[in-house]
């Protein structure tokens, strides 16, 4: 039975591939569904938005290979909805732009099944935009036409009016046209469209694998054969293609096309993965560690209850903040329980997480390492004052040792512990990646646990570390370190990668 108590089908457009182009309404529908029925073109991060207990059914269709026929897909949607399920039918691009969504909606309507349409961004618009090609430009055209290059094979002839399509004052966009490209080009030429008209084919548009082939109407077929261009791709024909060299932006990022391994815990990986997508890189999420409660959970509970007895509380990670306020909330309290206690955060992201709970950090060091935290606290405290260091169980002892040496009373309490994740997929993704990223020494150790020959394999990779402590741990394991961020944050790590000499777009 669905969460709402009655069956309903949501026909949802997933967009062209970049998960950042999914609409907010589509994301909400996916997050609340009981069953996800999804296509080949639906990006994995979008599919991952479905609830953990959601039933996922793949019905993808490539040219010549259909998991289920269209009739079988419709029958599946009807059966699931009649069983009271809340179903998201996730389709690549837009629901109604050559996606057969109209047939599915009609069948649902005829059967009396409740449904809703959530449009998506069509590749007809998105792929040219990501290739730097405007569909309209006042200097070049007054209209654009989107047509299918793969008509219903049961029809006796084409319904496309090539006499009208062969108009140099418009832009033509053909979807699913690679199989019929030769015939389309011949028809346009036969109806008077000049051989010199520029043509672009954008393959895997909006994805890190995006490729753009530019030629002319007279040469495009030969160029496709010579370069081995294949579906999925869209064809853009018109003078607007000339703007690409001035406007191309997506495939000029230094990290474009690079496969980047993310080793940090799954809950922390999303922000880095999202930024990599924006930069045209393909994130390979392979958490080598996970966050678990500390061995002495009771001591953490006591420290949180007695928080007001400290002069300062120091948080060295966002996970520590989450663990603290989770325990505070479970006891029926909130940030008011801190009273006038001063709070330190190791970096801006930790401070930002504190602000989400209504707590402004009184001290954030300019460099996000333990040594800077200790120095700053010594300037702000006096001998015998009590300091709670709420941190990872396996963290370094630099901060407490420096504080105790100057007669501060320090309680070191484990907020959580990190454990190694063992997963065959970690080694597979490490082999596939061009870049390995590490955000803590524990992520380095986690990779080595899963990939004993990491030091040997790393010779063909770029190894990037969030800061010097992590870099030291990597080198200690025999890994060559090519990039160390100056700003010890995810954004700092990405900036250092982009500025690395020799990083060029694929």
Q: What is the pLDDT confidence band of residue 240, given thresholds at 50, 70 and 90?
A: very high
Question: What Å distances lie between residue 305 and 185, 411, 425, CA to CA?
Answer: 74, 14, 41
Q: What fold does the segment set 125-251 form as a domain?
A: 3.30.950
Q: In sequence order, what are the beta bridge partners of 233?
A: 203
Please give the share of the chain, as a percent, with pLDDT higher than 90.
87
Averaged pLDDT for residues 173-193? 96
Angstrom distance (rounded) from CA 18 to CA 125: 13
Exposure string of 439-466, with b = 16+ CB inside 10 Å and e = fewer, is bbbbbbbbbbebbeebeebbeebbbbbb
- Which pTM value belongs to this model? 0.84
Would 8-120 and 293-418 be classified into the same CATH topology? no
Specify the residue for token string 């064809």.
235
Mean per-residue pLDDT over the chain, rounded? 93
Position 367 scores a pLDDT of 82
pLDDT at site 154: 53
Does position 152 have pLDDT exceeding 90, yes or no? no
Distance between CA atoms of residues 49 and 29, nearest Å: 10
CA distances from 402 to 332, 350, 361, 378, 388 (A): 35, 22, 21, 9, 14
What gap in Å lies between CA 61 and CA 41, rounded to an integer? 9
Query: What digits encode the pLDDT tens for the residues 271-297?
Result: 899 999 999 999 999 999 999 999 999
Q: What pLDDT is stored for residue 506 in this prediction?
A: 47
CATH class of 293-418: alpha beta
Please state the domain extents for the chain.
Answer: 8-120, 125-251, 259-288+421-498, 293-418
Cα angle vertex 192, ends 190, 193, to 5°? Answer: 105
Q: CB count, 10 Å around CB of 501? A: 6
CATH superfamily placement of domain 8-120: Tetrapyrrole methylase, N-terminal domain (3.40.1010.10)
Scanning 356-462, the segments in alpha helix (DSSP H) are: 370-380, 398-404, 424-432, 441-450, 454-457
What's the CA gap between 8 and 439, in Å, rounded?
Answer: 43
Whole-number pLDDT of residue 268? 87
Q: Reply yes or no on whether the pLDDT at 82 is more than 90.
A: yes
Collapsed DSSP state (helix, strand, coil) of residue 446: helix
**1-5, 78-82, 453-457: range with lowest mean pLDDT:** 1-5
36: three-class secondary structure by DSSP: strand
Note the CATH number of domain 259-288+421-498.
3.40.50.10090
The residues with which 57 forms a beta bridge, in sequence order, are 37
- Catalytic sites, residue numbers: 39, 61
- Residues ≥6 apart with Cβ < 8 Å to 244: 131, 132, 133, 200, 212, 214
What whole-number percentage of the chain has pLDDT above 70? 96
Q: How far apart are CA 187 and CA 163, in angstroms?
A: 9
pLDDT tens-digit readout, 3-16: 545 899 999 999 99
């Amino acid at each position: 039975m669905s969460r709402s108590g009655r069956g309903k089908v949501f026909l949802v457009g997933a967009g062209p591939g970049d998960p950042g182009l999914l609409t907010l309404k589509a994301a909400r529908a996916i997050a609340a569904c009981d069953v996800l029925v999804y296509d080949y073109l639906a990006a994995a991060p979008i599919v991952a938005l479905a609830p953990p207990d959601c039933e996922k059914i793949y019905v993808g269709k490539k040219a010549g290979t259909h998991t289920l026929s269209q009739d079988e897909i419709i029958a599946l949607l009807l059966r699931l909805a009649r069983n009271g399920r809340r179903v998201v039918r996730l389709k690549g691009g837009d629901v109604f732009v050559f996606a057969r969504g109209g047939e599915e909606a009609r069948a649902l309507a005829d059967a009396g099944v409740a449904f809703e349409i959530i449009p998506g961004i069509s590749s007809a618009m998105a792929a040219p935009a990501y290739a730097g090609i405007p569909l309209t430009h006042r200097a070049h055209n007054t209209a654009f036409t989107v047509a299918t290059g793969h008509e219903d094979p049961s029809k006796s002839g084409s319904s496309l009016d090539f006499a009208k399509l062969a108009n140099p004052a418009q832009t033509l966009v053909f979807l699913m046209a690679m199989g019929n490209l030769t015939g389309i080009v011949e028809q346009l030429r036969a109806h008077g469209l000049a051989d010199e008209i520029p043509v672009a084919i954008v393959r895997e548009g909006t994805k890190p694998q995006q490729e753009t082939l530019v030629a002319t109407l007279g040469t495009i077929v030969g160029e496709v054969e010579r370069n081995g261009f294949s579906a999925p791709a869209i064809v853009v024909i018109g003078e607007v293609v000339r703007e690409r060299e001035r406007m191309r932006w997506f495939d000029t990022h230094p990290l474009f096309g690079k496969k980047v391994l993310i080793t940090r815990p799954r809950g922390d990986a999303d922000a880095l993965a999202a930024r990599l997508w924006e930069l045209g890189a393909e994130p390979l999420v392979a958490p080598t560690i996970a966050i678990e409660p500390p061995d002495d959970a009771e001591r953490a509970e006591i420290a949180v209850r007695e928080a007001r007895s400290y002069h300062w509380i120091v948080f060295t990670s966002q996970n520590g903040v989450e663990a603290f306020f989770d325990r505070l909330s479970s006891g029926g309290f909130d940030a008011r329980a801190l009273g006038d206690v001063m709070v330190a955060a190791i970096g801006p992201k930790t401070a930002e997480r504190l602000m989400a709970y209504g707590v402004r950090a009184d001290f954030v060091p300019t460099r996000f390492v333990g040594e800077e935290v200790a120095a700053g606290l010594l300037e702000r405290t006096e001998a015998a004052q009590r300091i709670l260091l709420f941190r990872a169980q396996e963290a370094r002892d630099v901060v407490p040792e420096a504080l105790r040496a100057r007669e501060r009373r320090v309680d070191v309490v484990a907020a959580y512990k990190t454990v190694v994740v063992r997963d065959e997929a970690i080694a597979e993704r490490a082999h596939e990646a061009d870049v390995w990223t590490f955000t803590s020494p524990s992520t380095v150790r986690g990779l080595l646990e899963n990939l004993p020959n990491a030091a040997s394999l790393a010779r063909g990779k770029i190894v990037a570390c969030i800061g010097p402590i992590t870099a030291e741990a990597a080198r200690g394991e025999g890994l060559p370190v090519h990039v160390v961020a100056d700003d010890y944050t995810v954004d700092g790590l990405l900036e250092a990668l982009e500025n690395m000499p020799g990083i060029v777009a694929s």
